Amino acid sequence: MTNASGARGTARQAPTHPHPATAGHPTVLTGATVVLPTGSVENGHVTIAGTHITRSAPDNAQVINVPGHYVIPGFVDLHNHGGGGASFTSGSVDDILKGIQTHRLHGTTTLVASTVTGDLDFLARRAGLLSELAEQGDIAGIHFEGPFISPCRKGAHSEDLLRDPDPAEVRKLVDAARGRAKMLTLATELPGGLDSVRLLAEHGVIAAIGHTDATYEQTVEAIDAGATVATHLFNAMPPLGHRAPGPITALLEDDRITVELINDGTHLHPAALQLAFHHAGARRVAFITDAMDAAGFGDGRYWLGPLEVEVADGVARLVVDGTIAGSTLTLDRAFKRAVTVDGLSVEDAVTALSANPARLLGMDDRIGSLEPGKDADLVLLDADFDLKGVMRRGEWVVPPQLG
């Protein structure tokens, strides 16, 4: 995705720090409120040696005192199209790495790269490129959003490139990803939809229901066939009705479904978010960004696949008709909004931003919580929930900003 002239701003730069980080140097963060799977511990500590969290530190460990701060797990983003002016769908390898780094600077230590609707052969080639980055550990995998979605609920996807979810074509994308496909969003009511869900489940790929015009009954069928995620719940699907409850009701009521939510204040009314948490519970919600190029970059003109997007005041909309076109969200902002505007507990926000997506990706043995033996991925927040440090695999991406 190339941005046209006029885009403003730059990606956030990592600040300098009086305690320089050395890769692999044992470190102890102490005095903070540490959010663990069992709850928050005041005046707690986290010990890092090498790339992992450990139970104890050697005598020569660097001690960083962070009273009045929170230490939480690094954020995990299941659904992200780019950032820093760069697109995961159409950018070069350097562009993609720039987008990844932009989100790391905002606390996302694990990221799944999402594509948008395009020609099938083009998407297969992109899958090959992205799979190499996954093999190197830069991304956690690939999410295909489209082209197997409903023209009735296409959102910011090119209608000319949409197609029914033929299982053979779905398999082509999965194979092109060389074992790195993590999720595929499809409208399961379309011809071939249920068979495609079954195929994805057989290959260990998350079948996500989204950009769908399905009925309640059709959505139940898709869940029974193996779908486990709702792509950005509420958005790009029929609204809830008292006679036609539609997909939203089916997705909220079934314990097998994790619902994605874009908590940027634009995609969802706060009451809709509360409704989702009330019915699904914190353990079935995953906050995502659905970010496009402008995340961490600035307002201006961009391209989302073949469609031109205008970003104004941080909101991305298609130039042609004003449809919302992804977001400019970063997960540190989603976290702060969750606890300061939506009234969620810090523990529930951590569950939605770290633990749940890590579990969905099958990576919760390594990431998603602060436990000995797991990757040293963490975020440091001050008392106002502003980001003050990011560590990924034992190295500071954003060194602690204290005082």
**Angstrom distance (rounded) from CA 60 to CA 118:** 53
Q: What are φ and ψ of residue 250, in 5° steps?
A: -60, -40
Q: What are φ and ψ of residue 21, in 5° steps?
A: -90, 135
Q: What angle do CA 353, 356, 362 make, to 5 degrees?
A: 125
HSE value, Cβ hemisphere, 13 Å, CA-based, for 121: 0
Sign (positive or negative) of CA dihedral 306, 312, 316, 321: negative
Helices 120-135 + 93-104 axis angle, to 10: 60
**CA dihedral in degrees (56, 62, 68, 74; nearest 10)?**
-70
Q: Name the 3-class secondary structure at 150.
A: coil
Catalytic site residue from 254, 290, 342, 377? 290
Write the DSSP assignment of 226-293 as a string of letters: T--EETTTTTTSPPP-SS--HHHHHHHH-TT-EEEEE-SSSSS-HHHHHHHHHHH-GGGEEEE--B-T
Q: Which residues does residue 327 pair with via DSSP β-bridges, in sequence order?
A: 291
Annotation says 160 is catalytic: no
Kindly give the residue spans of alpha helices, DSSP state H, lying in 12-156: 93-104, 120-135
Length of the chain: 403
Residue type, 12: R
Sorted by sequence, the CB contacts under 8 Å of residue 250 that are 6+ apart come out as 216, 219, 220, 223
Is-contact 369 325, C-beta < 8 A? no
Q: Among candidates 116, 83, 77, which has minimal Cα distance to 100? A: 83
Q: Among candidates 211, 174, 213, which has minimal Cα distance to 196? A: 174
**Angstrom distance (rounded) from CA 383 to CA 31:** 13
Sorted by sequence, the CB contacts under 8 Å of residue 331 that are 6+ apart come out as 75, 77, 103, 106, 107, 108, 287, 289, 353
Q: Which amino acids are annotated catalytic? A: 290
